[in-house]
Structures are given as C-alpha cells and as structure tokens.
Amino acid sequence: MISFNKEQIYIVTGASSGIGEGVALLLNELGATVVGIARNEERLNSMKAKCKYPENMYIEIKDLAEDIDGLPQYVKDLKNKYGKFSGMAYCAGISDIQPLQLLTYPEIDYLFKVNFFAPLFITKGLLDRRNNIGKGTSIVAISSIEAYLNDRGMSKYASSKSALISAYKCMAAEVAQSGIRVNTISPSDIKTPMTMCEAAQSLREHREEKYPMGFGEVSDVANMAIFLLSNSSKWITRQDYIIDCGVM
C-alpha cells in the first residue's frame, strides 16, 4: 500500500481541476503535504474544501505562464516557505484543437508557455539540489496521447506535449545519478472539465466508441501519478506511460 508522510512535500500544478485536482486530493489523502498551485483562487479553495487533511494542504495562486524566466526563483521562494520538496506533479495544461488554417504565432506561443516552457522552468527550479530532498525526489508531468497520435487539428497541442516528453527524458538523465526520478504520463481521453467542454466534444463525436472501456477517469491517471511519485517506483525513471485502455 502506497503511503506518504506529512514531511514529504509535493507541488501539484493545475491543482484546481481535472487531473491536477485528483492528484492533489489523493496525495493529501495518502498522507503527504501538498502545495497546490493554480490560477483560480475560488476553485483552489473548493479543491481544498474536499481534501481529507486540510492542515496538510496549502494553496498558491499563480499564473505559471506569466513570467517563465522567474519560475526557478518562484520554486526557491516556495521552498523557503514550505521546506525542501520531495517532488512535483505537473498537471497544468491547456488544450486547443486548431487546424493549420487557424494557427497563429501568438496563440501557439501562449500554448507552449503553458504546456512546455512553464513545466520546463518550474522543473529546473525543483531539480536544483538546494530545493529538493535529493535521493527519493520524484517528478511527474502529464503529457498526452496526442504526442503519439498526431491527429488532425492537433499540431500545436501535440507538439507541445511531445516536446515535454523529450525534455523530461533529458532532465531525467541529468539527475538519475542523484537518485532523482523524472517521468511523464500520456493519457488519452479522460473525463475532465477541459476535455468534456462543448468545443472539445464537437470535434470528438463518436470518440467514446473507440474506447473498449469507455473514457478514462481522473483517478485512472492520478493513481499512476501517485505510484510514480512514491518510493514503490524507485527504479523507474525517464519513462513515458500511455494510459488509454489499450487503444493505441
């Protein structure tokens, strides 16, 4: 049985909804201290209201895309506030289905900030040995099955997620000797507010029929993230895990 203790402090980004919320709540339930980060204070508070141990759940309101270069310092500030981190689940991300005709540079730039540059630079801060506990530190980021499917309309989203997987594998190689692990998870359609919104659904008609076990649930991904953060996966690093009930 996987369990944590309150001295183990984890950052969870995107903690106010979807997969990030699921990971934050489960980590907290299993005994870890969680610093949940998101943009929306109200939704962060409603996440916190659902958690099992509110005394071990902290929230931070932050738009991670607004000052990418400042993110390593932001992590250092959080370390000074909460203590050295045992790891992070990077779950913040945005999805945008856009065929080539509609692509514009400012929009792809923004999406890359949220999906790629922010995780890269917040991870840079967390992998600074002054900010983590060293051996046993584990980082996991949520990528997407689109990194493999490369569907129509997905050029910007899929490429941001592919880039994330590559960067994480390089970083994993850089810190493996220190006993620090870095992995990614690539889920397919999971029922979250982001994927179930009307705009996303209109482009995904009959999509659920593809899945022999139906759409995935947040807990399907959160459990994997918890496993990768825990000591149970202590010999697993530099991997990407597809969670798609076997469709791919």
Alpha helices in the chain (DSSP H): 18-29, 41-50, 71-82, 105-112, 118-127, 146-149, 155-175, 198-202, 218-229
Distance CA 168, CA 115 (A): 13
* Nearest approach, Cβ of residue 70 and another protein (Å): 15
First to last CA, the chain: 30
Tokens of 20: 């990030």
Stretch that binds another protein, among 6-14, 113-121, 139-147, 172-180 (CB under 8 A): 172-180
Contact 97, 157 (CB under 8 A): yes
Q: Is 6 in the site for another protein (CB under 8 A)?
A: no
Tokens of 30: 């299993």
Q: Is 206 in the site for another protein (CB under 8 A)?
A: no
Q: Is 177 in the site for another protein (CB under 8 A)?
A: yes
Q: Is 130 in the site for another protein (CB under 8 A)?
A: yes
Q: Which of 109, 174, 208, 217 binds another protein (CB under 8 A)?
A: 174
* Nearest approach, Cβ of residue 47 and another protein (Å): 32
* Nearest approach, Cβ of residue 170 and another protein (Å): 12
Q: Which of 67, 128, 151, 208 binds another protein (CB under 8 A)?
A: 128
Q: Is 69 in the site for another protein (CB under 8 A)?
A: no
* Nearest approach, Cβ of residue 178 and another protein (Å): 8
* Nearest approach, Cβ of residue 128 and another protein (Å): 5
* DSSP string over 118-131: HHHHHHHHHHSTTT
**Dihedral (CA of 79, 68, 223, 128) sign:** negative
* Nearest approach, Cβ of residue 129 and another protein (Å): 5
With CB under 8 A as the rule, give the number of residues binding another protein. Answer: 6
Cα–Cα distances in angstroms (integers) from residue 149 to residues 86, 146, 212, 235, 238, in the given order: 33, 5, 18, 28, 20
Catalog residues that contact another protein under the rule CB under 8 A.
Answer: 128-130, 174-175, 177
